[in-house]
Structure 1
Amino acid sequence: MKFGKEYVSQMIPEWQQAYMDYAYLKTILKDIEASRQRSDKPQAAALRRKLSMRRAFSGLTKRYSFNVSAIDSDSPDVMVSAVTREDGTDSIETTFLKAAEAGGDTELMFFRTLDREFNKVNDFYRSKVEEIVKEAVALNKQMDAFIAFRVKVEKPSSSWNFTESVSVDMNALASEGSASQSHRRTLADQMGSKVEDTAHERRSNDTENGTLPSLDENVMSDQTPEGFKRERESPMDVLGHITLNNTLETPQSTIRNILKVTKQEELKFTRENLKKIEERLRQVLIEFYHKLRITKNFSFLNTLAFSKIMKKYDKVASRNAAKPFLEMVDSSYLTSSDEINNLMLRVESTFVEHFANGNRSKGMSLLRPKVKKEQHRITFSTGFLAGCTVSLIIALALIIHVRNITGKEGQKLYMETMFPLYSLFGFVVLHMIMYAANIYFWRRYRVNYPFIFGFKEGTELGFSQVLLFSFGLGTLALSSVLLNLDMEMDPKTNDYKTITELLPLFLVIILIAVALCPFNIFYRSSRFFFLAILFRCVAAPLYKVNLPDFFLADQLTSQVQALRSLEFYICYYGWGDFRLRQNTCRSSDVYKTFYFIVAVTPYWSRLLQCLRRLIEERDSRQGLNALKYFLTILAVCVRTAYSLDKGIKWKVTAWVFSAIATFYGTYWDIVVDWGLLQRGSRNSWLREKLLIPHKSVYFIAMVSNDNGKSLIEPKRVPVSVPLKRVFFPFLQVLNVVLRFVWLQTVLDFRFSFLHRETMIALLASLEIVRRGIWNFFRLENEHLNNVGRYRAFKSVPLPFNYDEDKDS
């Protein structure tokens, strides 16, 4: 793999604008190469004439030697110097000394761009290191409180003796009985004073050498806590001015906040609290170490990129500019600062000592990210189950055609009873396939969906795992359908109708059992994550709304028909209709009432989520979003009423509310959720940043051969450009068209070859497809928002609150 592709693949997607623009510098090098080729043509012709003359008189000129490739490598081509800017920060400035030569203007532009890119990278790295040092200072205080809290719990009799022996006991306790580690310093010493000492040494050395300083003096003094400027206070005194940071949100806490009932909780020194604090602080350190690794990789990758581009420049332009420039890079803050390396070593030592009982292999396995390995058995199983699903669909179609099931008397009764039961699995499988397609395209265009959704590192499912689940469920459902039909037509089993009717119920029970299985099989982490988010959606607005909450609630709004199928399950099996295969549900007023309630429940959940965000965030857009779901609720209720009572008043009302909700929802999808149709954008009514290289993907009305510049270069896959230009715009138009599927409900189209239940299932499937299209562009917009704000890390709340933190 070429370095350019490897460089892009290793970028942090949210920081990609802060990296050196390697691709753009390569384009300038191509211009330099083309310019040199044009200027070297006449010189090459003259050189060939001289060489031919020289060969003709070689016998007379043996005294002289001529080396065409000789280049004077001692003469400098550039001069690199450090410059102090107005804000007090340092930057580099490269002076190109051969600008008067042919093509020198292009090379001059190359060095100006190179300086700009390096200063951008260097400034960004410096700012991130400063943030990390500030965070390390906060972790000092957290570790002080943690060790003091553990001493108070483990040794309550001696915990309040403010003597030097207590401090020694604290370190001994923190090492969990390891005698060799009992006198190690705490994280406060390791991550605070050493950082300051190292930074002081770096500043002294850099001042002597005339290079850039590692950290600004004023910044370092601001980041140094008071405990480092004076003699450290007694270790146990810290417990007098801290409180536990209770971030566990419950419905009771939400209600208390609404009623403004404050509950003062005393700091309880219990083993249960100690376990919670230790777990929280462990997660904080793991995330902090992850941040250190990413920042270190940022420095290494950019340094390597500058080295590569300068070597290419020397090769293309036949210059000697790489050495002086790279010497300045080596002495810059980007390369020479060692705060990150020192912090990584100290975090490793501290984590192993305090959270892994001195077991380094165990501690490092927790700190380092989990690398997911592609398993061939998953690929094989997915392909096998996909083949089974396709084969069963073909077999079902052939059985229906050969046995002429659609022409028999019981066809209508079967469609009204069994088809709604089995269609539930079809809706679930289709939604999972669309989600797998979303994951594939998110990965291809480097959308960081695990970070956006907040998945635990290494537990997110790939598209192959999702397809494995979907095809597995599809195989079970289709096998149940074929078994049901065979038992109905077999004379020996024709009397056992109760058994045949119970097959869908058995399948639902198996599906629920797998979802609730407590054992670590079938991707337990992902299943429990889904169930937790589902519970938060049901319990809205009693929980703070995060992106996974409203994203899943939006998925449920496209599964209204699946929820109605669940209602039919309860009615059909709960009221005993399955024993006689009769459908008395639709004649029940209770069923009709819940038919309304089930349809509006997902929209009601989203409405409550929007209202909570409106109150908490004071964002007027959340109020407008709540209005969208309120209009949708009215439209769904009116259309449901019209489907049950065909009257002209209900029809007109359904037309009005459905049209308003559709146009409002379409505008919200494109402009707000997708961030498109922005006036004044450089991408012609789209948005400033795009992931997909072709503008036609976003805007079908644009007929142009000019490709929009992609923010992130996608991984190359064998997909032709014409397919891209047709497929993606088709999806854009399809999303708008599918919002009008409610027209069938109002206009009541009827097809002789389609049963009513089949038409309902097709329309529900189209809505699921529309939701899958929405998912990709919605998460792309969220990812670009993270890119614009350089958000690449999730924030883990700290376990302790200090009094001064609460005051601030």
Structure 2
Amino acid sequence: MTFKKDFKQQMVPEWEKDYMDYEGLKRILKEVKSSKQTTYNRSLHHRFSIERALSGIHMHGSNHQVEGDIEDQVIDVKTLEQDGSKQVYETNFQKEHEEGGQAESRFFQKLDEELNKVNAFYKDQVEADKHEATLLSKQVEALVAFRVKVKDPDQGLQQMTSTSKEKMDQNHQQKDSMGGTEVDPVQQASRDTHPEEEAHKNYQRRDPMEILENVRIDNATQSPISTIKSVFTDSNDDELSFNKEELRKIEGQLKLVFIEFYQKLLHLKDYSFMNLSAFSKIMKKYEKITSRTASMAYMRVVDNSYLGSSDEVNFLLEKVESTFIRNFSNSNHKKGRKLLRSKMKRERHSITFFTGFFSGCFVALLAATILRIVSQRLMQNKVGTFYMENIFPLYSLFGYITLHMLMYAANTYYWKRYRVNYPFLFGFRPGTELDHREVFLLTTGHAVVAVLCFLINLQLEMNQNTRSYKTATELVPLSLVVLVLLITFCPFNIVYRSSRFFFIKCLFRCICAPLFPVTLADFFLADQLTSQFQAFRSFVLYICYYGLGERSRRESKCQGYGFYNGLYVMAGVIPYWFRLAQCMRQLYEDRDMDHAINGSKYLSTIVAVIIRTAFERKKGSTWKVLALISSVVTIMLNTYWDIVKDWGLLQRHSKNPYLRDKLVVPHKSVYFLAMVLNVVLRLCWAQLVLELNWKPLHKVAITTFISCLEIIRRGIWNFFRLENEHLNNVGNYRAFKSVPHPFSYYDDKNDKDD
């Protein structure tokens, strides 16, 4: 792998603009090389003509001009001070008067800009991490005091004070000692390396119980019950409850804070290493092209800069690791390091093998099913038509799920290709996210099982010899549903358990909306469910067939039940209610009117779905007009919100006309094509209202086809929605999860209020 590809892959996507512009510098070096080649050829031809005219002897010599042997004659790098503490580097190129020297001068000017940019960004990040380390030290101190209070709440205060002070005095006498759990090395690091924080010297010498007097616990993960309580009570008046359950929650939350902070420090260390390597590589290329020995002089400046000389990140890494091991893994170094360092995903050849195997099986089974239907002419006889009208809707559920999984596999592929950091945006635990190969494996496996069950059902139903096994035939679709549910909710560590549990957690939060705070993964899943409203209605059909006894009569009498009709309407409304409830929760928390407008969009969709369902049941020109009007209004609102708000396109004053300033896909035509497709596929949603005298089988086929188009539209929406979220995230440099601290101090809170 070349350094260019490795440098690109090692970048933190959210910091990409703040890495050294290796490609830009290479382009300037190409200009330098081109000018050098032109100058050399012209000089060689001129000297050859003179020598030949004077002596008739051909010139033989070196192909390289020997100049610039002395480094000081090539460049002179000056260090300037700005704002008292900020260092800025400026290089004076000494050979600008030579032919081609202007390109080299531009190279060093660009090189200085990149060094100053990288240096400033690195220093800002280190300063922020030092401040966060100070806050973490106070969190650990409060945790230690909380542990003491939980383990021995009746112990005398004076006795604990003297004991804790004796331990602290012993720890302060040891050089770089980690000591007991009462002394936090992160705070020690802050005292040793930051003179401005000497005021905190006496902070750790206080009694642990005295610390808890100014501390309150922040509940980061709210349950539905706590949310309801917070509406009627003031959460600021809650007192500390010193019990083991509360301690366990605090330890878990603070553990996540340490893990995320440690990962950030690791990425910052990699940032420094990769940029230093990039400067070294580009200077070697410069020497190779120009034959000037300027690399050593410039790299000496780079090594002496803050980027190359600061060792504070390594120091913080050691202290954070030591603190974490002592306080969260019972001094077990192996266990502590395993928790701190994220797991790297290994590419397994078995995934590729089984994906190909299931794909081949799916194609073969699908071909066998089509041949079976055509050979028996099921579409042309009454028995076959009746069978397809009643049984096909049951299996269409699995077709919707398969298509949606296939679109998600394509999404993950293109997100990874264009460096959209979807694992971070969704909040996956590092190493547990599924890539496109794994999602495609699940998709093909699910499709094989679904088509196989449909073929078995078809064989048992249409074969004269097996029609006596009517009970077994009718239970095949139900068995498939049970199998899928068992695999989804299986508690054992099989079939990507962490991803399944993450999906279940998000689904539960969608169902309980608006009682939970809304994350991106929650409303993203709820948006997926809005495109699966036909799948929800398929579940209602299962209830009718297997709950109301319709399977035994094999007649489509579900619409005659008022209970079924009520569930049928609710099934079309439920996924849109999830998003409406989430918008209500976001409006309550953020006080942003955009959430109210977004919620009105889903409210209009609910109204349109109810009117359309009434039109399907009652018919009539009045219901048809109402259905058309409500559908058109909903389509207009949703289309505008998709393109302008969710995708961030059609910006008037954008550098890219009618798009947005930042794009991850280099081909702009892709965005215009996506906008057109979104409008067209949205209009297909209204096509169901325009039904005329459709035959029942035709209605089932058209409904299924339009539902599949909606799933495809959602898959296209997914890519650009997350791309827009990623670019907004990049602008704020949010490359890591912001895990709230479990403790907050009253003095800190007052400072923030002031």
Same fold (TM > 0.5): yes
Alpha carbons 1:284, 1:797 under 8 Å: kept: yes
Residue 150 (structure 1) aligns with: 147
Partner of 1:466: 439
CA 1:89–1:481: 2 relative to 1, 3 Å: same
Assess, with a 3 A threshold, how the Cα gap between structure 1 residues 474 and 749 changes in structure 2: closer, same or farther. Answer: farther
Q: Which residue of 1 aligns with 2:415?
A: 442
Contact kept, 8 Å, 1:192 with 1:228, in 2: the verdict is: no
Counterpart position of 2:425: 452
Distance 1:182 1:300, change over 3 A: closer
Q: SS at the partner of 1:80?
A: strand
Distance 1:121 1:104 in 2: 26
Bigger shift: residues 451-460 or 795-804: 795-804
Residues 369 and 455 in structure 2, CA contact (< 8 A), matched pair in contact too: yes
**Distance in 2 separating the partners of 1:776 and 1:442:** 7
Partner of 1:109: 106
Give the structure 1 partner of residue 605 of structure 2. Answer: 632
**Which residue, out of 329, 332, 353, partners 2:305?**
332
Match of 1:743 in 2: 686
Cα distance in 2, alignment partners of residues 696 and 230 from structure 1: 60
Match of 1:790 in 2: 733
1:492, CA displacement in angstroms?
Answer: 3.4
How far has the Cα of 1:732 moved from its partner? 4.2
Distance 1:799 1:3 in 2: 42
More divergent stretch after superposition (143-152 vs 527-536): 143-152
> Which residue in 2 is equivalent to 1:84?
81
Identity %: 47
- State the shift of 1:630 in Å: 1.6
Aligned counterparts, 1:194-343, within 5 A: 194-198=189-193, 221=196, 224=197, 226-228=199-201, 232-262=205-235, 264-343=237-316
User: Taking structure 1 as reference, are residues 66 and 695 closer, same or farther at Cα in structure 2, changes over 3 Å only?
Assistant: closer
Most deviating of 748-757 and 667-676:
748-757
CA contact (8 A) 2:78 2:91 kept: yes
Question: Given the two structures, how large is their TM-score scaled by the length of structure 2?
Answer: 0.94
Q: Write the distance in 2 (CA, Å) between the matches of 1:100 and 1:199.
A: 47
Letter in 1 for 2:683: F
Pair 1:772 & 2:715 matched: yes
* Contact 1:429–1:470 (CA under 8 A) maintained in structure 2: yes
Over residues 289-346 of structure 1, what are the superposed CA-to-partner deviations in whole Å (9 max), with x where a residue is unaligned? 1010011111111111111112212222332322222111111111111110001111
3-state SS in 1 of match to 2:586: helix
Asked if structure 2 preserves the Cα contact closer than 8 Å seen for 1:147 and 1:170, the reply is no
1:409 aligns with 2:405: no
Root-mean-square deviation (CA), in Å? 2.6
Aligned AA for 2:511? Answer: V
Residue 787 of structure 1 aligns with an amino acid whose one-letter code is: V
Alignment partners' CA distance in 1, 2:479 and 2:107: 69
Residue deviations 1:683-722, cap 9 Å, x none? 11211111011111112xxxxxxxxxxxxxxxxxxxxxxx
CA distance in 1, matches of 2:669, 2:546: 50
Q: Give the drift of 1:415.
A: 2.4
Cα deviation, residue 350, structure 1: 2.0
The answer as to whether partners of 2:685 and 2:710 remain within 8 angstroms in 1 is no
Rounded to whole Å, the distance in 2 between the matches of 1:26 and 1:661 is 51
How far apart, in 2, do the equivalents of 1:739 and 1:65 lie? 73
One-letter amino acid matched to 1:448: N
Structure 1 unmatched runs, 5+: 174-180, 201-220, 700-728
Query: When the two structures are superposed, what TM-score results if normalisation uses the length of structure 1?
Result: 0.88
Residue 73 of structure 1 aligns with which residue?
69
Structure (1/2) with the larger helix percentage: 2
Gaps spanning 5+ residues in structure 2: where? none
Query: How many angstroms apart in 2 are the aligned matches of 1:632 and 1:230?
Result: 58
Closer/same/farther in 2, CA of residues 230 and 745 from structure 1, 3 Å limit: closer
Query: Which amino acid letter does the alignment assign opposite residue 45 of structure 1?
Result: H
2:591 partner amino acid: R
Residues 610-667 of structure 1, C-alpha deviations (whole Å, 9 max, x = no match): 1221222121211211121122122222222222222111111222221121122111
1:132 deviation in Å? Answer: 0.3
Query: Structure 1's 615 and 353: CA in aligned 2 closer, same or farther, altered over 3 A?
Result: closer
> Which residue of structure 2 aligns with residue 805 of structure 1?
748
Q: Which residue of structure 1 lines up, in the alignment, with residue 517 of structure 2?
A: 544
CA distance in 1 between counterparts of 2:598 and 2:230 reads: 24
**Higher deviation after alignment, 308-317 or 553-562:** 308-317
Tell me whether 229-238 or 405-414 shows the greater mean CA deviation: 229-238
Corresponding residue for residue 9 of structure 2: 9
Which residue number in structure 2 is paired with residue 425 of structure 1? Answer: 398
How many angstroms does 1:802 deviate by? 1.7
Number of residue equivalences? 745
Cα distance, 1:784 vs. partner?
0.5
What whole-Å deviation, never above 9, does each CA across 1:704-760 have from its counterpart, x for those lacking one? xxxxxxxxxxxxxxxxxxxxxxxxx3x443222110113321221667796221111
Alignment check: 8 A CA contact 1:171 1:186 kept:
no
CA contact (8 A) 1:545 1:609 kept: yes
- The structure-2 alpha-carbon separation of the partners of 1:583 and 1:359, relative to structure 1 and needing over 3 Å to count, comes to same
Query: What is the aligned counterpart of 2:324 among 339, 351, 356?
Result: 351
Aligned residue runs from structure 1 range 135-214, under 5 A: 135-156=132-153, 158=155, 160=157, 161-167=159-165, 184=179, 189-198=184-193
Aligned partners of 1:525, 1:172: CA distance in 2, in Å? 44
Distance 1:634 1:474 in 2: 34
Q: Deviations over 1:582-627 (max 9, x none)?
A: 2211122222222222111111221121122122212121121112
Alignment of 1:389 with 2:362, yes or no, is yes
Query: Tell me, what secondary structure is at the counterpart of 2:201?
Result: helix
Hey, what does 1:119 align to over in structure 2? 116
What is the Cα deviation at residue 471 of structure 1?
1.5
Q: Is the 8 A contact 1:430 1:765 kept in 2?
A: yes
The 1:437–1:646 alpha-carbon spacing in structure 2 relative to 1, beyond 3 Å, is: same
CA distance in 1 between partners of 2:502 and 2:169 (Å): 37
Partner of 1:30: 30
* 1:715-730 aligned within 5 A: 729=673
Distance (Å, rounded) in 1 between the aligned partners of 2:265 and 2:453: 52
Corresponding residue for 2:528? Answer: 555
- In the alignment, the residues of structure 2 paired with residue 482 and residue 109 of structure 1 have an alpha-carbon distance, to the nearest angstrom, of 69
Whole-Å separation in 2 of the counterparts to 1:345 and 1:85: 32
Amino acid at match of 2:214: H
Look up the match of 1:512: 485
Q: Tell me which residue corresponds to 2:703.
A: 760
Equivalent pair of 2:648/2:659 in contact (CA under 8 Å) = yes
